[in-house]
């Protein structure tokens, strides 16, 4: 059984927090309440458009995906919900038993992700399509997704559209914008109380000339047009290189329009690499804006932290544990920022002093602190080591291969 003997290095961090005049218990409580949702598709054999490399332990069925998500939650303590993808996870339509299975496994169903980009009819778009029949089909799929959300107890409808055009003149941009607003309004009107609509944006791909929801401003306007329970979803990989994502986050928070995140990292484009693997400082800067607003308002913001990644080389569960652990560690660094000192430096135009305040927090090794938080939650300090020692991957690889055949010959859910 894990003990909650505080590590010397964690104790030093907590002593520093006390010396800064803050309450270390509050910091620990915030770290325990931090939650991040993992995606069902992150446990299955997904990959790149060029191909995918099969893993015998990858989830084959919806139940496998929920079991794997439950394993991540069991070890990290901060992943109680699983985002689902309607087309991939419910190929035969809504199945309320999935909600029950999730609960038994130890997780619940999180954001519902409709899919209006794979069917042949969506060649020229979904909500933006000129053809009213195609628009109707796309809207109906989203209405069905709302109903599915109701049935499985989800409180978020997460929308991403591949809509756009590949060539100048292909379609009228303003007409498409209006069709989008109209469709989103209809879907919003069907949502039950307590459900949030999340509108995601992406600058390009698969459309290469213009994308209908290309940036946070467009997502913001469409969310406003949809209704009062619509917010913007920030996918960290959906920006041009060098774009200042934390500024977008700060503005959305200030307008009460930040709904959530799809976390991932990238080096070039929408690479879907594990969070913080390339640029952890960027994730820290995003969390700094969030924690700063939380401290100003005196309460945690209602933000859906979700993962949107595709693990083509790494074992899926290990990659997910790495991701949520990194998020937890970087969130802890943001909590460590001495904001009184920062405000003081800002008031004196002490540029170096202000930046050093952020750097001092960022370069603090928060891994022992997260280990201590986990021990206090009755978990092992090192979730990745605990997973590797558990033999889970070898066991499910054997079970799933026995049941469905080797991955390359099996069909995938």
DSSP 8-state assignment for residue 75: H
Residue 23 burial (10 A CB sphere; 0-12, 13-18, 19+): exposed
Q: Give the residue carrying structure tokens 């989203």.
A: 142
Stretch that binds Mn ion, among 27-35, 125-133, 254-262, 327-335 (CB under 5 A): 254-262
* Closer Cβ to Mn ion, 272 or 318, answer by number: 272
Q: Which is nearer to Mn ion, 68 or 235 (CB)?
A: 235
Q: Is 85 in the site for Mn ion (CB under 5 A)?
A: no
Q: Measure the CA–CA gap between 244 and 264, rounded to whole angstroms.
A: 16
Smallest separation (angstroms) from Mn ion to the CB of 390: 30
Instruction: Decide whether 39 or 407 has the Cβ nearer to Mn ion.
Output: 39
Site for Mn ion, residues 337 to 356, rule: CB under 5 A = none
On whether the CB atoms of residues 44 and 66 are closer than 8 A, the answer is no
Any contact of residue 239 with Mn ion (CB under 5 A)? no
Q: Which of the ranges 19-27, 83-91, 132-140, 232-240 carries the binding residues for Mn ion, by CB under 5 A?
A: 232-240
Least Å distance, CB 106 to Mn ion, is 25
Site for Mn ion in 99-158 (CB under 5 A): none
Position 265 contacts Mn ion (CB under 5 A)? no
**Six-digit token string for 6:** 């505080």
Q: Which of 45, 308, 329, 380 binds Mn ion (CB under 5 A)?
A: 308
Q: Is 74 or 262 the residue whose CB approaches Mn ion more closely? A: 262
Distance in Å, CB of 123 to Mn ion, minimum: 22
Give the binding range for Mn ion (CB under 5 A) out of 82-90, 117-125, 262-270, 403-411. 262-270
Question: In this structure, are strands 156-159 and 196-200 parallel, antiparallel, or unpaired?
Answer: parallel
Measured between alpha carbons, how far is 113 from 308 in angstroms, rounded to an integer? 11
**Cα–Cα distance list, 54 to 38, 171, 258 (Å):** 20, 39, 36
CA 329 to chain CA centroid, nearest Å: 16
Q: How many residues bind Mn ion (CB under 5 A)?
A: 3
Nearer to Mn ion, 308 or 393 (CB): 308
CA atoms within 13 Å, Cβ hemisphere of 200 = 26
Q: Which two tokens stand for residue 144?
A: 């069905």
Judged by CB, which is closer to Mn ion: 161, or 392?
Answer: 161
Contact 257, 218 (CB under 8 A): no
Nearer to Mn ion by Cβ, of 289 and 308: the residue is 308
Residue 235 near Mn ion by CB under 5 A: yes
Region near Mn ion per CB under 5 A, out of 86-94, 182-190, 222-230, 234-242: 234-242
Query: Whole-angstrom Cα distance, residue 405 to residue 407?
Result: 6
- Minimum Å gap between C-beta 233 and Mn ion is 7
In contact, 31 and 331? CB cutoff 8 Å: yes
- Report the greatest alpha carbon distance in the chain: 67
Q: Tell me if 262 contacts Mn ion by CB under 5 A.
A: yes
Nearer of residues 64 and 235 to Mn ion, judged by Cβ: 235
> Nearest approach, Cβ of 358 to Mn ion (angstroms)?
27
DSSP calls for 115-161: --SSSGGGGG-STT-S-HHHHHHHHHHHHHHHHHHHHHT--EEEE--
Q: Which two tokens stand for residue 246?
A: 């934390």
The minimum distance between CB 169 and Mn ion, in angstroms, equals 29
Q: Which helix (H) or strand (E) holds 112?
A: strand 108-113
- Shortest distance, position 270 Cβ to Mn ion, whole Å: 8
C-beta of 272: minimal distance to Mn ion in Å? 8
**What is the closest distance, in whole angstroms, from the C-beta atom of residue 47 to Mn ion in the complex?**
16
Residues found near Mn ion in the complex (CB under 5 A): 235, 262, 308
């Amino acid at each position: 059984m894990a003990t909650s003997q505080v590590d010397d290095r964690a104790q030093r961090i907590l002593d520093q927090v006390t010396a800064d005049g803050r309450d270390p218990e509050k910091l620990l409580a915030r770290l325990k309440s931090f939650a991040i949702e993992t995606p069902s598709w992150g446990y299955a054999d997904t990959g790149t458009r060029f191909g995918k490399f099969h893993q015998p332990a990858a989830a084959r069925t919806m139940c496998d995906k929920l079991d794997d998500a439950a394993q991540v939650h069991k070890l990290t303590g901060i992943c109680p919900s699983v985002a689902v993808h309607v087309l991939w996870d419910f190929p035969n339509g809504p199945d309320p038993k999935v909600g029950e299975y999730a609960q038994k496994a130890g997780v619940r169903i999180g954001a519902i992700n409709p899919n209006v980009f794979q069917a042949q009819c969506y060649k020229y778009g979904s909500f933006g399509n000129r053809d009213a029949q195609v628009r109707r089909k796309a809207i109906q799929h989203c209405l069905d997704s709302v109903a599915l959300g109701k049935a499985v107890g989800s409180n978020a409808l997460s929308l991403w559209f591949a809509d756009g055009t590949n060539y100048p003149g292909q379609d009228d941009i303003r007409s498409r914008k209006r069709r989008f607003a109209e469709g989103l309004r209809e879907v919003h009107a069907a949502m039950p109380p307590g459900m949030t609509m999340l509108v995601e944006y992406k600058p390009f791909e698969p459309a290469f000339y213009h994308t209908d929801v290309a940036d946070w401003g467009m997502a913001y306007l469409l969310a406003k047009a949809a209704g009062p329970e619509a917010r913007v979803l920030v996918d960290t990989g959906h920006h041009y290189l060098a774009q200042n994502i934390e500024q977008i986050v700060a503005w959305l928070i200030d307008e009460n329009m930040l709904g959530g995140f799809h976390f991932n990292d990238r080096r070039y484009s929408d690479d879907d690499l594990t969070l913080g693997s390339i640029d952890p400082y960027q994730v820290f800067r995003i969390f700094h804006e969030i924690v700063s607003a939380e401290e100003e308002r005196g309460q945690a913001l209602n933000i859906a932290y979700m993962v949107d990644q595709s693990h083509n080389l790494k074992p899926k569960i290990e990659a997910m544990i790495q991701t949520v652990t990194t998020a937890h560690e970087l969130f802890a660094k943001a909590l460590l920022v001495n904001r009184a000192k920062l405000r003081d430096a800002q008031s004196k135009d002490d540029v170096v002093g202000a930046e050093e305040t952020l750097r001092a927090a960022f370069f603090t090794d928060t891994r022992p602190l997260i280990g201590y938080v986990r021990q206090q939650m009755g978990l092992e300090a090192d979730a990745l080591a605990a997973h590797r020692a558990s033999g889970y991957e070898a066991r499910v690889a054997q079970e799933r291969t026995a049941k469905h055949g080797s991955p390359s010959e099996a069909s995938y859910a």
